[in-house]
């Protein structure tokens, strides 16, 4: 009788252990593996380019919407849980997240606008976004630096190239010589 109880208890203990172990394995299997730097870089690149196009089109709403999608991505990257990226890339994501949050707050409450100098290599933003040129260009520069760490190469920003103005200046007429032009000799016919 004691043997039967011991066997039952042993079976119960083994069964419990297997249940705990298989539950832990199932939980570990259900958690997705962290995404690599290439995936993170492609997502950042897409949103950086969307942000650039919206801002340089002067579209405040689209700029805000893109910032709203960019900020959580940068938060995930800086936490290091969802993306397996280098520590310096996590630092860059943290910095970009702070800039994106500041820009989002400034767009929501223009009275809190910070004076940040624009990036000299980028053209100023048009229309209602002109006052936040420095903030937005700083964020774009930080995102480009982050992309360098994630992808190795950084595609150029889709910034519109300003048209070079062509002056409408009439050309002066060339003066004609006072003397008649000499006649060119006509070759003799060949027989």
Among 189, 137, 151, 190, residue whose Cα is nearest residue 39 = 151
Report the pLDDT value the prediction gives residue 26, as an integer from 0 to 100.
Answer: 47
Strand partners, 22: none
pLDDT of residue 18: 47
Q: Which two tokens stand for residue 163?
A: 């048209």
**pLDDT at residue 14 in the model:** 47
| Angle between helix 133-151 and helix 37-56 axes, rounded to 10 deg | 160
**pLDDT string in tens for the chain (191-residue length):** 555 554 554 554 445 554 444 554 444 456 778 888 999 999 999 999 999 999 999 999 999 999 999 999 999 999 988 999 999 999 999 999 999 999 998 888 766 555 667 777 888 888 888 888 889 999 999 999 999 999 998 888 888 776 667 777 776 776 666 766 667 777 778 86
Residues in CB range of 32: below 8 A, 6 or more apart: none
Residue 83, strand partner residues: 35
Residue 142 CB burial class (10 angstroms; 0-12, 13-18, ≥19): buried
Q: Cα–Cα distance between 121 and 26 in angstroms, integer?
A: 52
């Amino acid at each position: 009788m004691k043997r039967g109880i011991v066997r039952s208890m042993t079976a119960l203990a083994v069964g419990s252990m297997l249940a705990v172990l298989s539950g832990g394995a199932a939980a570990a299997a259900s958690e997705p593996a962290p995404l690599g730097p290439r995936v993170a870089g492609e997502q950042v690149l897409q949103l950086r380019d969307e942000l650039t196009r919206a801002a340089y089109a002067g579209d405040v709403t689209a700029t805000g919407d893109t910032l709203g999608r960019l900020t959580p991505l940068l938060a995930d990257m800086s936490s290091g849980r969802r993306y397996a990226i280098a520590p310096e890339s996590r630092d860059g994501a943290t910095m970009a997240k702070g800039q994106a949050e500041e820009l989002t707050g400034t767009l929501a409450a223009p009275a809190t606008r910070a004076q940040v100098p624009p990036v000299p290599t980028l053209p100023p933003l048009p229309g209602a976004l002109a006052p936040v040129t420095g903030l937005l260009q700083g964020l774009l520069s930080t995102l480009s630096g982050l992309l360098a760490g994630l992808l190795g190469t950084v595609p150029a920003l889709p910034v519109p190239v300003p048209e070079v103005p062509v002056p409408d200046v009439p050309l002066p007429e060339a003066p004609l010589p006072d003397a008649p032009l000499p006649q060119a000799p006509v070759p003799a016919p060949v027989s």
